[in-house]
């Protein structure tokens, strides 16, 4: 029966596998005497969690112990006799940098949450609106996200509202607008002009509504709200 690998073991194995590249860089450093390798950049490229990277801490200690050889072991002296005193100093400095970079990454790491981009269908799923009113049919609400302009008509309050901006939807509200203004429109013959007219008519349509004061609009839609026109 195969023994199940624990989460801790999986993280440790992941860290050890990533250290293969670091070992190659250290070998290159010993052969060439110099290296531009940055452990911190390498870790950021990997994007591993702090818990995984923590298993890398202390990785360089054995190598440093052998190079320093404080106990004067003859075998270690012989193994590293190809390095000059200056080379050893550079290598030890680099090993210390690697350890510092590991510690820095573990301390600074913050998981990045991937933002889920919603589709227009998802954005307008809860948007209330009136599908039909007399001879008028609402435009498809999926046209609203990323639209430049939207006209709505509340059949109960008789308020015609104009939205301008980089529009989107959140719940029952229109968002992303720079302008939201409204007028009372009781003459539905004028509404017919907006409904059938082109973009030029729509842009200046509020100016055509007589005897109604321009006010700040309400961005909350209801089941009585007809979606008259969208300009993308």
Band of pLDDT at residue 227, cut at 50, 70 and 90: very high
Domain-wise residue ranges, the chain: 7-108, 120-231
Tokens of 232: 């993308």
pLDDT over 70 percentage in the chain: 99
Give yes or no for residue 16 having a pLDDT over 90.
yes
- The pLDDT value recorded for residue 127 is 96
Nearest Cα to 65, choosing from 100, 92, 97? 92
Show Cβ contacts of residue 26 under 8 Å, excluding neighbours closer than 6 positions.
60, 63, 91, 94, 95
Split at pLDDT 50, 70, 90, the class of 9 is: very high
DSSP state string for 106-127: HHH--PPPPPPPPPHHHHTTT-
Render pLDDT for 165-199 as a digit per residue (tens, 0 to 9): 999 999 999 999 999 999 999 988 899 999 998 99
Q: Is residue 1 scored above 60 in pLDDT?
A: no
22: Cα separation from own chain's centroid: 30
Q: Considering the entire predicted model, what is its pTM? A: 0.55
What digits encode the pLDDT tens for the residues 81-114? 988 888 999 999 999 999 999 999 999 988 777 7
């Amino acid at each position: 029966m195969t023994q199940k690998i624990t989460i801790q073991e999986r993280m440790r194995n992941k860290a050890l596998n990533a250290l293969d590249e670091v070992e190659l860089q250290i070998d290159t450093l010993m052969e060439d005497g110099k290296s531009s390798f940055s452990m911190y950049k390498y870790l950021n490229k990997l994007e591993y969690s702090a818990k995984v990277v923590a298993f890398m801490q202390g990785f360089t200690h054995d190598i440093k112990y052998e190079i320093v050889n404080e106990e004067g072991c003859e075998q270690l002296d012989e193994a590293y006799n190809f390095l000059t005193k200056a080379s050893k100093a550079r290598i030890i400095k680099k090993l210390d940098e690697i350890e510092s970079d590991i510690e820095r990454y573990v301390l600074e790491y913050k998981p990045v949450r991937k933002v889920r981009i919603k589709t227009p269908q998802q954005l307008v799923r809860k948007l209330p609106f009136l599908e039909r009113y007399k001879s008028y049919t609402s435009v498809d609400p999926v046209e609203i996200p990323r639209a430049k302009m939207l006209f709505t008509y509340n059949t109960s309050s008789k308020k015609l509202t104009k939205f301008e901006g980089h529009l989107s939807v959140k719940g029952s509200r229109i968002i992303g607008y720079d302008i939201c203004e409204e007028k009372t429109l009781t003459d539905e013959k004028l509404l017919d002009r907006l409904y059938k007219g082109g973009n030029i008519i729509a842009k200046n349509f509020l100016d055509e509504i007589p005897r109604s004061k321009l006010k700040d609009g309400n961005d909350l839609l209801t089941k009585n709200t007809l979606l008259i026109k969208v300009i993308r």
